[in-house]
A and B are shown apart, each in its own frame.
Chain A
Amino acid sequence: MQKITQKQLDKMLSQCFQEEARRVEVPSSKKLWADLQERLESAGMQQIEEKLVQLQQAPPKKKQVFHKVHNIFWRKHKYLTGLAAACLVMLIISLQVAPSSGMSNFVQRFLTFMGTEMSTKPALDDQNFSSGTLKMKTEDAVQIEESGEKRELPIKAGERAASLPPPAEGAVPQESAEAESYSLFIGESPDQIFSVQEEISGQKEGPAQDQEHEEQGRGLGQEQDPGQGFAQNAMLEETLQESILYDKELFFSELNDCKDLAPEKIWRIDSVPEGFAFNEAVIARTDTFLHSVSQKYTNEEDKVISLSQKFFPSRVPEDTQLTTSGSLAHPIQVGLYSGYIICEENGIYTITWKQNNSIVALSGQLAEKELFDIIDALIES
């Protein structure tokens, strides 16, 4: 299974939101401003205007800009800095405790590049520095004089100038130390020329970027439904069979048989208010596709609760109207789907919502809350 990387996900989400936002038809802000203005006037619009003018005249805060830059820098480099600090500590410790070995040379070179000022103890073995002179050919290069017992690794050029003894014989002259290269010369043997950049780049190979190690969720199922992929025209050419079922158990059994033909789960009513009982259900299907399912519950007063679900072989078109013109519809959120609730003059409420591949409608001569409870208790077949 190909994992979606963090970068891919970020890009997809960004693009998706931008595209979605472009599609949004924004109403005229002029008309809405008039509405808002009325409210603001009662809340003291003149004072608000004055505050706004004050804000507009206030100078920008430089400190915050610095703070932001500072934060960005540390956020970006925190791992590298931490790694470098850890390496430095380790190296200092190993320098203090390790016996003289080839490692000491590396330590010195590394510390030299890092520009860290430190003085090694005279007790350390000098044999690896016997070549006499260590020079770094950069502006901030460090010069190590081995002519005496004292070795110093000053950080800055200014400090170096003040602290360095006169150049010993064979040392690189001060002027020639100004160079672009970050090469480090140890002694005079060409074999001992190392590229500091190479060494440091090796050190930089630390922890990877801030990757979220997320547990891969279980697969969402990969089976293709038999009903998928059929063109709607082809489907319509097939014979539509309508089954009217008066027995609840038989209805459930039929639903179970044809659920694979539906492109989406089929809802059925599980709980109804007291006094209601199953009346009938209609299943409309072809051999390859479940077209619609409707179920009806009634009570002794002939009040009806009905749930119908119409399926689409492909996605429900965006412009599908859920409401009839003239009806008083209020938008409603049904689970994660948008829909409408309509109250007709005879007191019948209808809640309609659009899913991915189906439109569902629940109606009944009940209180709004009772219908909500039925929706809450819907179960899939």
Chain B
Amino acid sequence: MESGTDPRLPTLLGITLRRSMVVGRMSLVIGGGMVVFYSALFGIAGPLFVSVGTVILPVFAVSGGIGGALVFTNDRTKGVLEYLVAYGISPRRILANALIAGIVQVTIILGVGLAAGLTAYLLSGNALTSTLPEILLGYTFPMSYLSVTLMTTIGVFWTSLSSPRSGLNSPLGVLPLIGVLPTTLLMIVAIALGAEASRVLLVGELVVFVLLASLLARTDRFMPTERLLSPA
């Protein structure tokens, strides 16, 4: 029963996205607020926005993208996943929806944050350079997406394999810490190494990608249908 969803069934992506915004609104506001604040701060500081600000942004952006994992955990506890599986929605589809919800939230946070940062940067009399889009497209966006996808995947698998519980003792309680770990470590190492920073960031992205791909390849094992059921 771990096979894919029948193509005639709805994807439920739209409503999952909407629910992730509602359920994860607090983390979205806090994460978004921090990204806007630091982005604007670095924008005013000028060149630091390009060299440091763009590397820091993923740390805060990821912490606001927990909505997909929240929806999954709530749905499991409330017995919603049990219905979806009974109607033929596959665990893979459920996971995909959670991952996309996290990515969309991070996109919103980064979009708003970068708009604020760039505005501050330009209003402070700084000129745009080719380095900025290179870093944004080469690190800020891909690393944010990789990190939020890794965080959501770990959250979904961990929730699936553990008994329902709440608070800091639950997977969700520590999930934001897991999410920001790769970006924070990379940021510290990159800043410490200075000249080798771009290479460190690239290698770091590759490591996260490989880790994520190896986890997703084991979806059926870490997310068996029976682990999506509500407590009997």
On whether the two chains bind one another, the answer is: no
